[in-house]
Amino acid sequence: MIKNSYTLHVTRYTSKNKCTSRVTAVTLLTAYCLLLAVLCSCSPKKESLYRKTMILMDTVVTIHVVADSEEAADRAMAKAFEAIGKLDMLLNFFSDKSELALINRNAGVSGVRVSPETLEVIEKAVYASEQSGGAFDVTIGPESSLWNFVTRAKPDDKAVSEKLGLVNYRLIDLAKEKSVVALKKKGMLIDLGGIAKGYAADRAAEALKRHGIKSGLVAVAGDIKAFGLKQDGKPWRVGIRNPRQKGKDDEILATIELRDMAISTSGDYERFFIIDGERFHHILDPRTGYPARGCQSVSVMAKDGVSTDSFSTAVFVLGPEKGMELLKHLGFEGMIVDKEGKIHITPGIKDKIEFKRNS
């Protein structure tokens, strides 16, 4: 088609202007081809979904991104995993080399100067402790240390009782201007297990955005942060596990759409053992030192994972009635499966959550 147009254009010139006409035609053709090349290069490349999984923070971390090339996706995901890895080194409760371990070793002795990330997550943990009236208490460490879900051994009742006096978030001293954290009582232990993974999901999502990703999902175990839309223009859809699944077909209780939101699920099925028909799980009530009994699982939805992680724990400890009150107070959405298996849902997600037919 271009060749025919070129020939027609040349024949319209007189022989007197033949040389000029040929140059003009070639120039126009070249310009047309250059314009076509520019237009093609400016056309958006087809985006695809990419996924990678790593073991970090003692759990499975999976990242999904929408990108126009595998190279772009790999670069961004590498930075996101790097951000999580850094937090793992700073906040690991079980590592002697972490900043958290240094804080705990100096309990009742002196404050510790920490990184901005450590200060921020502890500050947010204190806020969650305050807002929940201590149902979430980041100083649960002395009690959580007594429970071993690998050996499946219930701790001595006397030991549990004796450690309760060390669980008190009000005894954390934060000197923000100096970036110093201090525990006022010897033997206190900060355990960030109920908030660090949600915080990590947030930081990983930020890393993806900084490196050109406009749509992605970060899942650090049960703590998920999603932003943007999938390549098909639809929101991300995540599943909420059935806390009493009987088989593979019953694994997912419900699914919910997420866009620029986070969701965290706390359940009594994650780490537990059963003695004489009684389930002992890892979500401890800071007021008793024993597993909370009012719920089977709690899912909380909000803008950031650091909130959903900590408050899903708090709601689980409070139980369905007080838990729903807390969600309303905070303006968060959520779903609670109580100890009897009854489901409680906040009004804002009733049209966004989809239950399996057999649930």
The CATH number of whichever domain residue 117 belongs to comes to 1.10.3980.10
Q: Is residue 242 domain-shared with residue 186, that is, in the same domain?
A: no
Q: Is residue 247 domain-shared with residue 337, that is, in the same domain?
A: yes
Report CA-CA distances (Å) from 263 to 73, 137, 197, 216, 255.
23, 20, 12, 14, 11
The whole-model pTM stands at 0.85
Q: Is residue 239 domain-shared with residue 343, that is, in the same domain?
A: yes
Q: What is the DSSP string of 214-283?
A: SSEEEEETTEEEEES--TTSPPEEEEEE-TT--SGGGSEEEEEEESSEEEEEEETTSSEEEETTEEEES-
pLDDT of residue 274: 92
Question: Which residues 6+ apart lie within 8 Å of 179 measured at CB?
Answer: 113, 114, 115, 116, 119
Q: Is residue 276 part of a domain?
A: yes
CATH number of the domain residue 268 falls in: 3.10.520.10
Q: What angle in degrees, to the nearest 10, is found between the helix axes of 70-91 and 116-131?
A: 70
Farthest-apart Cα atoms in the chain, separation: 111
pLDDT of residue 247: 60
Domain containing residue 313: 235-355
- DSSP one-letter code for 342: -
Q: Is residue 239 domain-shared with residue 174, that is, in the same domain?
A: no
pLDDT of residue 356: 82
Q: Is residue 229 part of a domain?
A: no
pLDDT of residue 113: 98
CA 62, CA 81: separation in Å to the nearest integer?
Answer: 9
Q: Is residue 23 domain-shared with residue 123, that is, in the same domain?
A: no
Q: Write a three-state SS string for 19-51.
A: HHHHHHHHHHHHHHHHHHHHHHHHCCCCCEEEE
Q: Is residue 215 part of a domain?
A: no
Indicate the number of domains in the chain.
Answer: 3
Q: Is residue 206 part of a domain?
A: no
Q: Is residue 87 part of a domain?
A: no
Q: Is residue 26 part of a domain?
A: yes
CA 58, CA 194: separation in Å to the nearest integer?
Answer: 13
Amino acid found at 282: H
Amino acid found at 101: A
Q: Is residue 114 domain-shared with residue 14, that is, in the same domain?
A: no
Q: Is residue 255 domain-shared with residue 316, that is, in the same domain?
A: yes
Q: Which of 136, 170, 190 is the last residue of a domain?
A: 190
CA 310, CA 194: separation in Å to the nearest integer?
Answer: 6
Question: Which residues 6+ apart lie within 8 Å of 47 measured at CB?
Answer: 66, 67, 68, 231
Q: Is residue 116 part of a domain?
A: yes
Contact 93, 192 (CB under 8 A): yes
User: Which residues face 49 on adjacent strands?
Assistant: 66
Contact 123, 174 (CB under 8 A): yes
Q: Which of 154, 174, 190 is the last residue of a domain?
A: 190
Report CA-CA distances (Å) from 16 to 19, 20, 22, 25.
8, 9, 12, 15
Q: Is residue 240 domain-shared with residue 185, that is, in the same domain?
A: no
Q: Which of 136, 165, 190 is the last residue of a domain?
A: 190
Q: Is residue 346 domain-shared with residue 278, that is, in the same domain?
A: yes
CA 224, CA 220: separation in Å to the nearest integer?
Answer: 6
Mean pLDDT by 10 residues, the chain (359 residues): 32 37 41 41 71 97 97 98 98 96 98 98 98 98 95 93 97 97 98 98 98 98 96 94 75 94 96 92 97 97 98 98 98 97 95 79
Q: Is residue 185 domain-shared with residue 239, that is, in the same domain?
A: no
pLDDT in tens, 112-168: 999 999 999 999 999 999 999 999 999 999 999 999 998 998 999 999 999 999 999
Q: Is residue 69 part of a domain?
A: no
